[in-house]
Chain A
Amino acid sequence: MRRIISILMENEPGALSRVIGLFSQRGYNIETLSVAPTEDSTLSRLTLTTFGNDLKIEQITKHLNKLIEVVKLVDLTEGPHIERELMLIKVKATGAQRAEVKRSVDIFRGQIVDVTSTVYTIQLTGASDKLDAFIGAIGETQVLEVVRSGVSGIARGEKVLSL
């Protein structure tokens, strides 16, 4: 099962390598990863997605919690949550395709952020499966380049991950 684990950790050199190292060292897999400082500059928020059954995820979270720099973490997939990923995608757009691609962008509520006579650069946000669906919709042959930010997530309602 796919999980989104969100980690609050000390914004210190070496902290990220410990998190990443833990995954490779114990044979766990990281699907996506995004990390940046929070409003409190001493803290970073790291969000990663991984796959595993309950037992494996429990081990992962226990081991992450043991890392000295990890302050707190939550498995967002345990409760209602919002998940977003940003994609920048460059596609071929010539002739009749120009209008076709534009329509798909509108349907997916994306934006064309750069244009040339043959290429559209599109910005799209949403859950990962929506971004996958967009690539499917425009047809892979059109795609020149894809950049995805990795998943960011936050719990719904009153629940917060903070100190």
Chain B
Amino acid sequence: MEMLSGAEMVVRALQDEGVEYIFGYPGGSVLHIYDALFQQDSVSHILVRHEQAATHAADGYARATGKPGVVMVTSGPGATNAITGLATAFMDSIPMVVLSGQVRSDWIGDDAFQETDMIGVSRPVVKHSFMVRDAKDIPEIMKKAFYIATTGRPGPVLVDIPKDQTAPNVKNPYEYPKKVKMRSYAPVSRGHSGQIRKALDELMKAKRPVIYAGGGVVQGEGSELLTQLAHRLNFPVTNTLMGLGGFPGTDRQNVGMLGMHGTYEANMTMHSSDVILAVGARLDDRVTNNVKKFCPGAKIIHIDIDPATISKNIMAHIPIVGPVQQVLEEMLAALDEHGGEPDRKALERWWEEIDGWRKVHGMRYETNEDGPMKPQQVVQALYKATKGDAYVTSDVGQHQMFAAQYYQYDKPRRWINSGGLGTMGFGLPAAMGVQFAFPEATVACVTGEGSIQMNIQELSTCLQYGLPVKVININNQALGMVRQWQDMQYGGRHSQSYMESLPDFVKLAESYGHVGMKITKIEDLDGAMEEAFALKDRLVFMDIYVDPTEHVYPMQIADGSMRDMWLSKTERT
């Protein structure tokens, strides 16, 4: 058998897993591994400028491809900088393997230089973690790490590797395991057939049904099947923030995103429904509003891979634990077998009602005649310039909501955002990960002047690797979402939500070697977008000044039901 050092084993395991890219930053504890990486070329290492960005880049890569993202960081600060990225991936169930260096085994616990108990620090934000206690275990640990990260409900897995376990002079036999067997980990592979049939019966009887599709549909490769099912049944579909693109955004049956900033029609449809088919969704607080007032007349069918998600916030009447794809497949087969029809008459009336809601309060905003442009206009211009076919990553705040509301995602994995953790600084590094995965694709990062500054150093990484990401900086000179809440709930006292001393983003972009554009007038917007996206091989930073007073609507009213919403600054339901 081949004899390898621990460091070589780590790298070989990455090769055996078919890893294309590893995002990372070197440091003392991982130098042996970096040396082993140097001596091969099948795994490309991407040098970021901050470890947090490494995790978000790997995360963006994973969201766009479905393959696990891989990260390497050194011990201590390198490892702790990766925590936000781990937590981001954990909340959104993204498969990721993070390798962190650790101080020598015999120094652990001695408060050695750059020592942090990374297993302990990361515990609440990883699916699982391993510490290498013997170099011989590296192949098995790596295999398990990838297996756990990618199966069941996916999530990040951490492997903490003390430096001595990677020492170049200690060689051990290497054989990468073909299979993993773990007596304590057996993700569900099939939903319960009886439950699936029961659910189908309920769907056939439904008079006011709705399909509520979450991130699990995207991550679980269930989009096509869900679309088929929705079309067969002619049911309305609403997507969560994480589920956008899981059902085509421009489809007539799509009533838009639901929840806190969901469309009027989506929230009304949910509230008035008699059967909700929740697929790969968590029924979390950004969707349900007050759980006690949640959809009072609805029976809930809940499909999810994670049993702990079912009946956590809202009791499910028919729980189905299983992979979204397999359950939907079986449901479609059962539908064929059933041969029956849903209640077409009732559905006709239901659609009339929904179309009525659409007409009354479809997505809209007021434009300024002479004043500053609106952030919504920027997203619409982006949609037009990219013909709705870009990968769009976002940061967190108002711009994120506008990008979710006004860009129609027709395909899964096109909309990439930190929905669960809400991590500012996610957008640019995530866009890098997407661009690495699809070098020819159009990748836009919709951000704001607040969020972009949380990882702006990655403009340097983009230059190093020639990533032609388009940064759409929706600049309202304020932390817009904070400001909106302060307007609505704190008497307009804008405590620390104003951004003074903004950099000149055009010069900043240029100093990083990119193209910068500043747009202040609506009449320049479309032309500038065309120009930016025509620069196929350059990163373009578009600094677009918008109305700082704009709010995101609709907005659910706290502690109300799903249908209690502000529709503008003055109208409410």
Contact = CB atoms under 8 A, between A and B. Distances in A.
A159 interface: no
26 contacts: A9-B184, A10-B184, A13-B131, A13-B133, A14-B129, A14-B131, A17-B120, A17-B123, A21-B124, A59-B308, A59-B312, A62-B307, A62-B308, A63-B308, A65-B307, A65-B308, A66-B306, A68-B127, A68-B128, A68-B148, A68-B182, A68-B184, A69-B184, A70-B184, A71-B183, A163-B183
A118 B519 CA distance: 88
Nearest to B128: A68
Given A66-B306, A68-B127, 20 more contacts: A10-B184, A14-B119, A14-B131, A17-B120, A18-B123, A21-B124, A55-B311, A58-B311, A59-B308, A59-B312, A62-B307, A65-B307, A66-B308, A68-B128, A68-B148, A68-B182, A68-B185, A69-B184, A71-B183, A71-B184
A25 interface: yes
Please provide the 5 A-B residue pairs with the shortest distance between their CB atoms, ordered closest to farther. A62-B308, A71-B184, A68-B128, A25-B124, A62-B307
Which of A9, A25, A62, A163 has the most chain B CB within a 10 Å cutoff?
A: A62
Contacts of A13: 131, 133
A10 B183 CA distance: 9
B162 to A, nearest CB: 13
Interface string A1-32: 00000000110011001100100010000000
Contacts of A9: 184
Contacts of B311: 55, 58
Interface in A50-106: 55, 58-59, 62-63, 65-66, 68-71
Contacts of B129: 14
B229 to A, nearest CB: 27
A21 B123 contact: yes
A9 B182 CA distance: 12
Contacts of B184: 9-10, 68-71
B288 to A, nearest CB: 16
Which of B128, B184, B306, B312 has the most chain A CB within a 10 Å cutoff?
A: B184
Contacts, number: 35
Contacts of B183: 71, 163
Interface of B: 119-120, 123-124, 127-129, 131, 133, 148, 182-185, 306-308, 311-312
What interface size band does chain A fall in?
20 to 34
Chain A, interface SS category: helix
A8 to B, nearest CB: 9
A63 B309 CA distance: 9
Contacts of A25: 124
A103 B184 CA distance: 49
A17 B123 CA distance: 9
Nearest to B148: A68
Contacts of A62: 307-308
Nearest to A24: B124
Contacts of A55: 311
Contacts of A69: 184
A61 B54 CA distance: 34
A65 B119 CA distance: 20
Contacts of A10: 184
A62 to B, nearest CB: 4
Nearest to A55: B311
Contacts of B119: 14
A69 B148 CA distance: 12
Nearest to A25: B124
A55 B124 CA distance: 22
Which of B127, B129, B183 has the most chain A CB within a 10 Å cutoff?
A: B183
Nearest to B127: A68
A85 B129 CA distance: 33
B190 to A, nearest CB: 17
Contacts of A71: 183-184
Contacts of B124: 21, 25
A96 to B, nearest CB: 53
A28 to B, nearest CB: 13
A21 B122 CA distance: 11
Nearest to B321: A62
Contacts of B120: 17
B305 to A, nearest CB: 11
Nearest to A20: B123
Contacts of A58: 311
Contacts of B307: 62, 65
A25 B124 CA distance: 7
Nearest to A66: B308
Which of A21, A25, A55, A68 has the most chain B CB within a 10 Å cutoff?
A: A68
B321 to A, nearest CB: 10
A18 B128 CA distance: 9
B81 to A, nearest CB: 21
A59 B311 CA distance: 8
Contacts of A59: 308, 312
A53 B139 CA distance: 43
A143 B325 CA distance: 62
Contacts of B148: 68
A72 to B, nearest CB: 8
Which of A9, A65, A66, A70 has the most chain B CB within a 10 Å cutoff?
A: A66
Nearest to A69: B184
Nearest to B185: A68
Nearest to B120: A17
B285 to A, nearest CB: 15
A71 B547 CA distance: 56
Nearest to A26: B124
A65 B306 CA distance: 11
A70 B306 CA distance: 16
